[in-house]
Structure 1
């Protein structure tokens, strides 16, 4: 039996941060669940997620936001589908849905005021959409390991998890721009860094998320990847992931996939760059900020934008959290 999830108010500092700096019509507030920051709307979906049936051929891509998720999804999809790039022309959220998309973006008020709007099922009820997918299912989530479906946590099937991690500073920089663009963040970068370090951003705290999956590294059904390794030697990561997924790729397929996964091609590819989502949000005045979902993809951008005091805080926390692990950035 899956436990019934319990929700509570956020700590006082997180509550203050989120009320002051996150303003959106589709995110009326936040709660804490197992010490993870989540939108209040998640409460309607959490138990349904916990009791989800898990299939032996499920493939999950898990990550903290802005850690290379979309890049990893596209890589995993293409490897599992024998680098058939025609099938990859379908919009990524449809073929590789975001499990908790609906809990994150409550569009009920928008739809009541604009009855002409027709959102697809993977937006209106992403959990139900995933449950009804034909096998093999490809599923994306930003949920902490302790909030995943019970059967997936218990490892009672042969379902596979690919987890991608990114250094905390670059993840913070990227998440800042993402939240400015799509999630109603109105503060400056330093304020966002404070929230990130305190664990006040959605899906935070960051290090609890990373370590929750890192603790599963001995599980043969879990593959831990690093964004920095993907940037440094994508070819090797493709072979490593293909081996994990029990797929044999030819040299020609790998070359084709390397080209397909280049940042330039990903950024220009409307099947994966989320520009259609940005356009819809702008059309209905849900966002005011200009920008793109795929921004720059650099490693080490934090060096250009973080002040020395903030860098020191990040380094201190990272050292504390990674002590005793084999993970380093």
Structure 2
């Protein structure tokens, strides 16, 4: 028997509903536990319909009560959809092309709010006392509270698990939400997960993804929660498609700059931004290439170190391959999930 943990009201009071999972659900849960757990992430549960590590529920309650300031800038998206590139772009534009400040690690100046719920940090510190003061062992919520305003905050949570001010549309804070095609998210999330904890194949990861068994799934309810509020004047949301960034980065820079209420960039300033965000600079920039994170994972989480996420090695490209058969599964899944919504996919799917 298992239980679903979800919220009945804004005080985040949990109710347990006991149920007998199907054999298919049991097999999926077993696959998730087999391939995506470590000694510091020993299992998963379900909070408000979302798959999360079993260390997450106490963090969810604290996030619900968190104060949101009107000058906050938030970056949202399903894991890896919001991307390092977008995160760096938002910070750089919002801080008026501050090259000195941009030398600091991105995780320090643009932290992930719910990071404390992803691992059992008490167990990590008990096993390795020397990491007590390391950024990745800190209380991420308290850290976000402590950073100077205007705060830049990343979160991979769906709208209904953000602080109550966001859920209820009672804040003037800005949210930039990034949508990326689910097939691309699945591949990039797989590559990222391999650096942190995942030990399975891409086919196994795709199976978990399509069945809402990866952290922060379901994918479509995540996306639709922000899509439905993009034109609601009670919410200050800029909904971006990653394909826009791939097709015309300069236009997206202009759009984001305006959304942040910043003056238009001059031609030399635009050239500076585009150079700062170029693939070569992103890959070679130690402040954004996640080397800091991967070195920590290699030393303390027993995860082999690999190439930076902002680049892809040949093995990754071969292993995370979207075969025609798998693409057909995604197309069928996408068609079923967006049917009955007004979500504009921007491409045709086979069904």
Alignment-derived partner of residue 213 in structure 2: 200
The TM-score normalised by the length of structure 1 is 0.92
- 2:81 & 2:318 partners in 1: Cα distance? 14
- 1:108 & 1:288 partners in 2: Cα distance? 22
Partner residue of 2:112 out of 95, 98, 106: 98
- 2:104 & 2:13 partners in 1: Cα distance? 35
Alignment-derived partner of residue 288 in structure 1: 304
- 1:122 & 1:284 partners in 2: Cα distance? 11
Paired residues, number: 325
Q: What does the per-residue CA deviation read over 1:93-147, in whole Å, with 9 as the maximum and x for residues that have no partner? A: 1111110111112232232122222434564200111122221111000011111
Q: State yes or no: 1:322 paired with 2:338.
A: yes
Alpha-carbon distance change, 111 to 304 in structure 1, aligned in 2, over 3 angstroms: closer
Displacement of 1:291 in angstroms is 3.2
Alignment-derived partner of residue 242 in structure 1: 257
Q: State yes or no: 1:149 paired with 2:167.
A: no
- 2:204 & 2:294 partners in 1: Cα distance? 24
Displacement of 1:191 in angstroms is 1.1
Q: State yes or no: 1:213 paired with 2:226.
A: yes
Further displaced range: 230-239 or 184-193:
184-193
Displacement of 1:289 in angstroms is 5.4
Secondary structure, aligned partner of 2:129 = coil
Secondary structure, aligned partner of 1:162 = strand
- 2:211 & 2:222 partners in 1: Cα distance? 13
Displacement of 1:280 in angstroms is 1.6
RMSD (Å), alpha carbons: 2.2
Partner residue of 1:161 out of 175, 196, 204: 175
| Aligned 8 A contact 1:97 1:122 in 2 | no
Displacement of 1:192 in angstroms is 0.9
Alignment-derived partner of residue 312 in structure 1: 328
Displacement of 1:155 in angstroms is 1.7
| Aligned 8 A contact 2:202 2:320 in 1 | no
Q: What does the per-residue CA deviation read over 1:12-44, in whole Å, with 9 as the maximum and x for residues that have no partner? A: 344222112123122111110111001111122
- 2:78 & 2:68 partners in 1: Cα distance? 21
Alignment-derived partner of residue 144 in structure 2: 130
Displacement of 1:199 in angstroms is 0.7
Secondary structure, aligned partner of 2:11 = coil
Greater relative contact order structure (CA < 8 Å, 6+ sep)? 1
Q: State yes or no: 1:34 paired with 2:43.
A: no
Partner residue of 2:131 out of 114, 117, 122: 117
- 1:253 & 1:123 partners in 2: Cα distance? 37
Alignment-derived partner of residue 230 in structure 1: 245
Displacement of 1:264 in angstroms is 1.6
Partner residue of 2:286 out of 253, 264, 270: 270
Secondary structure, aligned partner of 2:29 = helix
- 1:121 & 1:176 partners in 2: Cα distance? 24
- 2:10 & 2:270 partners in 1: Cα distance? 41
The TM-score normalised by the length of structure 2 is 0.86
Displacement of 1:308 in angstroms is 1.8
Partner residue of 1:3 out of 5, 11, 18: 11
| Aligned 8 A contact 1:61 1:139 in 2 | yes
